[in-house]
Amino acid sequence: MALPWLHDTQQRLAQSFRGQRFHHAQLFCGPIGVGKFELSDQLANALLCQNVVQQSADANSILAPCGHCKSCSLTLAGTHPDKRLTQVDGQSIGVDDIRAISDFMNHSAAQNGNKVVVIENCEKMTTAAANALLKTLEEPSNSRFLILTTSQAAQLPATILSRCAKTDIKVTNTDLAQQWLESLQITGYNWLPLFYSQPLQVKQWQEQSQLQNIDTLYKFATEFKQSHNFKALVDIINKQPELVRIFTLFLSEQLKQQLLQGMSFETYQVAQQALSEFLQNNTKILGLNLPLAVSRLAYILRNQ
């Protein structure tokens, strides 16, 4: 999948590879939905390729797998013995996970080439796991590569950060993200510009048939002070609790607009505090009475 906003980053990685300055531990930092994993996966596949291809001979080339060699065939089948992916959803990455990675790195490559490990959301490593990873980072072996991704670099220990080549992954040209989304027939939503920095998040919503729900949340946010029937809003958040963050983002943007239009800063702060408490209660209190919480938030915002 070509992600045009990543092209400049891919060029820089290719240049460091050509110049033999490519670091054995790459850390990609950026928001959810910007393409960190896609970049990591392509880079891993290129490093495993038996004829690492640079798609053109000039300085604008990127690293890409050839797609035809034995190594690429194994990668496409998801069975490459020299590639390891560590993904954890909602849990921590424990010390045993990292020890397994170290053991994997210390064994000979089955294809007599590179070995590559991708650790997604590496900020989820426990303290013990991060300490275990340090040995691998401090004593790199030839032809061994670690690729780490995070959306919360501030949560990583300084010892990990200092031993990786850190690259910030972001959309620097929102026109590219907009055009890419348009190519997927995702257009016409007033809230889309808020997510040009996270285009893959929008694509995921499309794949999950969630775009209409997101649009409903946006409409509730724009009319929140006037609305008295929150059933549709409550239904959406009850079914998908993670979308409460999107709803509060929309409300926060509305408050910022009102601040620019003359709302006092004191009133703005009170409203944002109420919004923050609403989000915190939704994410931390089990069995929260959501209709009551929504009604309370609406009452506070109406009276500011």
Q: Which residue has the tokens 């946010």?
A: 221
Q: Is residue 193 assigned to a domain?
A: no
Query: Is pLDDT above 60 for 75?
Result: yes
Which residues constitute the domain of residue 31?
4-168
CATH number, domain of 37, equals 3.40.50.300
pLDDT digits (tens, 9 = 90+) for 58-74: 556 888 899 899 999 99
DSSP for residue 153: G
Q: For residue 137, give the H/E element and its range.
A: helix 127-138
Q: Is residue 201 assigned to a domain?
A: no
Q: Is residue 178 assigned to a domain?
A: no
Of 168, 197, 218, the domain-final residue:
168
At 91 the pLDDT is: 83
Query: Is pLDDT above 60 for 258?
Result: yes
Give dist(CA 63, CA 13) in Å, integer.
Answer: 8
3-state secondary structure 195-260: HCCCHHHHHHHHHCCCHHHHHHHHHHHHCCCCCCCCHHHHHHHHHCHHHHHHHHHHHHHHHHHHHH
Q: Is residue 108 assigned to a domain?
A: yes
Of 168, 201, 235, the domain-final residue:
168
At 90 the pLDDT is: 67
Residues 10 and 157 in one domain: yes
Average pLDDT over residues 17-33: 93
Q: Is residue 38 assigned to a domain?
A: yes
In percent, the amount of the chain with pLDDT more than 70 equals 96
Residues 138 and 24 in one domain: yes
pTM: predicted TM-score of the whole model, two decimal places: 0.88
Residues 140 and 259 in one domain: no
Residues 14 and 161 in one domain: yes
Query: Is pLDDT above 60 for 49?
Result: yes
Q: Is residue 110 assigned to a domain?
A: yes
pLDDT digits (tens, 9 = 90+) for 94-116: 999 999 999 999 999 998 889 99
Nearest to 115 by CA among 94, 138, 139, 85: 85
Q: Is residue 191 assigned to a domain?
A: no
- Under the banding of pLDDT at 50, 70 and 90, the label for residue 1 is low
Task: Give the Å distances, CA to CA, from 217 to 89, 195, 270, 299.
Answer: 25, 14, 22, 18
Contact by Cβ (8 Å): 218, 189: yes
Residues 18 and 161 in one domain: yes
Residues 88 and 234 in one domain: no
Residues 69 and 129 in one domain: yes
Residues 51 and 123 in one domain: yes
Of 168, 200, 232, the domain-final residue:
168
Query: Is pLDDT above 90 for 10?
Result: yes
Average pLDDT over residues 84-92: 84
Structural domain count, the chain = 2
Q: What is the mean pLDDT of the chain?
A: 92
Residues 142 and 13 in one domain: yes
SS3 content of the chain, % helix, strand, coil (to 5): 55, 10, 35
pLDDT digits (tens, 9 = 90+) for 170-210: 999 999 999 999 999 999 999 999 999 999 999 999 999 99
Query: Is pLDDT above 80 for 144?
Result: yes
Query: Is pLDDT above 90 for 135?
Result: no
Give dist(CA 29, CA 26) in Å, integer.
Answer: 10
Query: Is pLDDT above 70 for 28?
Result: yes
Residues 54 and 137 in one domain: yes
Give dist(CA 42, CA 95) in Å, integer.
Answer: 27
Q: What angle do CA 202, 205, 207 make, to 5 degrees?
A: 115
DSSP 117-136: EEETTGGGB-HHHHHHHHHH
Residues 148 and 281 in one domain: no
Residues 223 and 80 in one domain: no
Q: Is residue 174 assigned to a domain?
A: no
Average pLDDT over residues 28-50: 95
